[in-house]
Chains A and B, each alone.
Chain A
Amino acid sequence: MIGPIFSSLTSISTYLMVRQIRSRGAGLLAASFIATIPSYISRSVAGSYDNEAVAIFALTFTFYLYLKSIRTGSMFWGVCASCSYFYMVSSWGGYTFIINLIPIHALALLIIDKFSSKLYTGYSMFIINGTLLAMVLPVVGFNAVETSEHFSGFFVLALMNGVALVKYLKGTLTEAAYKKALRLFVTTSIAVMGVISLGVITFAMTSPTLRWSGRSLSLLDPTYASKYIPIIASVSEHQAPAWSSFINDLRTAIILMASGIISCFRPLSEGSLFLVIWGVLSVYFSAVMVRLMLVLAPVACCLAGIALSDVLEVLCRSAKYSSDNNQPETQKVEKKKKGKQSSNRRNSASGSKYGLIPRSLALLGIAGIIFVLSYHLFHCSFLGGEGYSSPSIILQSRSRDGGTYVFDDYREGYSWLRENTDYDAKVASWWDYGYQTTAMADRTVLVDNNTWNNTHIATVGRAMASPEKKAWDQFRKLDVDYVFVIFGGLVGYSSDDINKFLWMVRIGGGVYGDIKERDYIGEGYYRIDEKASKTMLNTLMYKLSYYRFAEIVGRDGQDRVRGTKMGNPDVKLTYFQEVFTSKHWMLRIYKVLDKPNLAA
């Protein structure tokens, strides 16, 4: 239930934010976009829980409160914003996005010379209180002031103080004195700031713990993770998304987003500038890491709402006032303009005489928009229902007569482990299945999805990438009773362990020197066919996956995921014994033998 509750809160806070930035209509459109966008639905489906469902609400609400505080200049809203920020920090590691985006926005406001005492109040309230609150949390602690991810806020705060001083001096001094003072101030402050920031940067960069964290660095340099931290790069959510996933997850919003950015510039307020910066940055981030599509989704909705409301405004006005006779129409617009101005609604297009189009065209445009929006809604509910509402461990396929066929192999295997192994048995598998095994099979696992320390993950990666005898020695040392692998070759389930094997080698090799990636590459690729390397065909992973597989598909049979023949169809196991294979071979469980079975 938490997902739907928070997603409704998100759409309310989105409405509040966009209403404040632009208009009520734009706010409503933005809220309806965020309510239907598949990217966010994927995290907030009823029946599942993802902390990102909470985090996106906290994100939008923090931004709303912050924008409110710098618009009103009220300390109260600034403190509210920092409290909301505190909630965000406690819910999701993505809070660094806020603590960097807000200073960037403030810096941009300084650069375009929009400094005001309201900005100063709101910003300083937010940064100082927010940082203090964040330090309360044990996970963040002193990182909030010591790591470089958080420095930008302090830097901008210092700069803002300088600007404030300059502004104050400008008010008090004469013209000539002011110029001198300014020159003096700027040079000294640049020198001082330069020295300090140089010192801080070198200190932070040299000390190993205070550097930018791996995930943040891989955002700045998309190739960073694959070079240095394979465990981050291996997570599919950290990969760069395919183009189609932008269209798929954001649909109309991503198309309207560009025009939304343009319409934010007319006129440019601090709020719309914020949306522009947020939009541009998150497009970049989501292009680096598919998971951050989630940060893009709210801003895409806001911008799309603004764009669509502008378009609709023009169309509706045209439909109402436009006619073949131009004379009375201009008068009406004139009247309307006055009315609008007195109501003090910040609406870029409402006052303009321009942009009236013939009524028929306008009606056509409205009809078109209604069509596009209903198509969008249809797509989103379809995707939400089909793509994101089913659990990822139960796969479905449609049979030709319209029925569904269920691949329930994961639960079959976990249920077998739960029922027919010792309660104290220890199970080793790739780390993706760690929490699943603990929860569903109720057995102790060697590695789980915790990534604070990746040595244990590397240990399993190394064993899987080792020949059978070596792997057996390692598993025996670790007191492992059962090993299971996910194998999709029979039914074409592509996220199986052979496809993840690249990462096992890389993560294993990252910690243990005896695993070298180039040994596993045959003719330039990871492959399991005839051209595969010898080392590859000897690995435990290969053997456990393809053990007796040839007896089902034949010696020349194909692996349906890779679409190739097997490099070595005759797999013999000496140190492991097959104990269970699920119906579609997706989960294969092996027992680590006490002593090698030399007869086989």
Chain B
Amino acid sequence: MARGTKGRGPMCTMTTRLRVWNLVAIASVVLLAASASASATGKGKGKPVTVSKLEREVDLTSQNLVVASTLDLKNSGSEPLSYFVYCATKIVKDRTLLWIEFEEGDSSGGGDSSGGDVEKLAWTLGDDKCMEVKLSKPLAKNGQTSVEVYEVYSMDFENIPGEIYQSERQMVGFTNFDVVVSDPSLDVNEQTTKFYLPSTTVDYFTEVKPANKVGSEIVYGPYKKGSNPDRSTVTIIVEHPEPLLVIEKVVREVTVSSWNDIEVEEHYHIRNVGPTFKDGFSRVEYSRNPKAYIANDFSLVLPKEAHSLFFIDVLGNITTSNARFEHEKVTVEAVPRFPLVGGWQTHFTFGYKLPKYSFIRTEPKTGSKVLSMDILPAVQGIHINNLTISAAVPEFSTKVGGGALASTVLFTELDPFRLVKTSSGVKKHFFDLFGRPVHTLEMSDISPELSQVAFEFYVKYSFNDILKW
């Protein structure tokens, strides 16, 4: 995963955008070809790949379940190994896979993938939702390599208990997680699972010997092959100091004007899914001891070109917010009308304008225009259950089409892990005669971690500039 793209510079923005655009064109072709070939040659039902060492790091501190695994692969077979099968949904059960990425590092580097010779691996999806990962070069007999798998799953914390007093801590339960990987396609010799917890206050964790808690970390393992522990699913009950927020629905409406601006309006429905208060919300308690798990503001990040910001709801302007116009981005601290405690929800609309020139480009060959924008909304770091992004292009535009600009099968309409739907319609705006063509993309289950991948929505359209009136 391309970490560090978060703070990209102004020049970089353009280049990444263009690069991603090209990449997608290539990737989609490659993907189609690859899937065709995979189905043609039949599934790799061969014997399991030997994993000499599996190290997993499970991050419970963020809004989603992030699992980073290092697999030390060893070719114990007689023929060169060109691919292996990885079944993410079998290893982590009952959770929705939001993102997966494979990287092959230098085997001599000892699994540390931060070196320069790290390569992203292409993968294809089988019928059983398992990934067939193609290694960068076939592994010779007894050869070794190390593959890093970066996975993001939906989080399913349980509030334990479901009702608390305002003076109490917010405890969450994390259950039903296998610390021993038993996947028929992987032959694991030794494995360790390490949990990063949101706090050091742990009420309970399942003992699967050897298990160790140090500060806010719990290490399960190492488990050797054959030393089958009597149970492998664990439960951890830990204090979570952060608000457990979920964006139930966000609708992003992008309107490309015939003139110079792109208007963006984002309609949010945010809910705090944390434990509810037994005796109501008390302002005295809140002023005396403002718990961090009560959400008091949302941080929004907008492109640096953003201007004319507004923050409203059905009752009008929300007077409490703060915007900082920085060099590379605009950050907004938006305070909702009331602090969000467990069980409460809020609706609001955030809007801004962007200049056209940095988001729309004209394809020199066909003369058609391409609008490309981030799919993710401005509110950062919150899991999104449903996202709708629609772009209304100027009236009288023709040949309108578009979708998500993704480098893998994820987030395209072929994605088996979530609903992705594109549709088109017409939207009437001020003084329109027939309405503007609208292209809409709907998606479910999107993780905030994806802000780190270049992940864009594009709409292609043809528009005769003579009609610009």
Contacts and interface: CB of A to CB of B under 8 A. Distances in A.
A579 B281 contact: yes
Interface in B419-467: none
Nearest to A600: B279
Interface stretch (B152-160, B338-346, B378-386): B338-346
B337 A416 contact: yes
Nearest to B280: A579
A455 interface: no
Contacts of A418: 314
Contact of B337 (A411, A552, A577, A579): A411
A372 interface: no
A394 interface: yes
A235 B434 CA distance: 51
Interface SS, B side: loop
Contact of B346 (A394, A419, A440, A583): A419
Contacts of B346: 415, 419
A189 to B, nearest CB: 63
Given A408-B319, A440-B315, A415 B281 contact: no
Nearest to B346: A419
Given A419-B345, A552-B287, A580 B320 contact: no
A552 B284 contact: yes
B337 A548 contact: no
Contacts of B343: 420
A582 B284 contact: no
Interface string B273-314: 000000111111001100000000000000000000000011
A556 interface: no
A590 to B, nearest CB: 8
B282 A412 contact: no
Interface string B3-42: 0000000000000000000000000000000000000000
Contacts of A408: 318-320, 337
Contacts of B316: 411
Interface of B: 279-284, 287-288, 313-316, 318-320, 337-338, 343-347
Contact of B315 (A411, A552, A579): A411
Given A420-B345, A551-B288, 4 more contacts: A412-B338, A577-B279, A581-B282, A581-B283
Interface in A543-600: 548, 551-552, 577-583, 585, 591
A contacts with B: majority SS: mixed
Contacts of B337: 408, 411-412, 415-416
Contacts of A579: 280-281
Nearest to B281: A580
Interface in A265-322: none
Closest 7 A/B residue pairs (Cβ):
A581-B283, A579-B280, A415-B337, A406-B319, A412-B337, A411-B315, A551-B284
Given A420-B344, A580-B338, A548 B319 contact: no
A411 B314 CA distance: 10
B272 to A, nearest CB: 10
26 contacts: A394-B319, A408-B318, A408-B337, A411-B337, A415-B313, A415-B315, A415-B346, A418-B314, A419-B344, A419-B346, A548-B284, A551-B284, A551-B288, A552-B284, A552-B287, A577-B279, A578-B279, A578-B281, A579-B280, A580-B280, A581-B281, A581-B282, A581-B283, A582-B283, A582-B338, A585-B283
A414 interface: yes
Contact of B282 (A406, A414, A420, A548): A548
Contacts of A578: 279-282
B93 to A, nearest CB: 34
B338 A415 contact: yes
A548 B343 CA distance: 24
Contacts of B313: 415
Contacts of A419: 344-347
Nearest to A405: B319
A580 B338 CA distance: 9
A551 B316 CA distance: 33
A440 B313 CA distance: 11
Contacts of B345: 419-420
A355 to B, nearest CB: 56
Nearest to A414: B315
A591 B284 contact: no
A578 B278 CA distance: 11
A577 B279 CA distance: 7
A406 B317 CA distance: 12
Nearest to B319: A406
B278 to A, nearest CB: 10
A548 B166 CA distance: 15
Contacts of B314: 418
Interface in A389-423: 394, 406, 408, 411-412, 414-416, 418-420
A412 B346 CA distance: 11
Contacts of A577: 279-280
A103 B278 CA distance: 67
Nearest to A440: B315
A180 B55 CA distance: 127
A577 B281 CA distance: 10
Contacts of A416: 337-338, 344
B154 to A, nearest CB: 25
The listed residue with most A CB atoms (<10 A of its CB), out of B279, B283, B345, is B283
Nearest to A404: B319
Contacts of B319: 394, 406, 408
Contacts of A412: 337-338
B323 to A, nearest CB: 15
Nearest to A408: B319
A395 to B, nearest CB: 11
Nearest to A551: B284
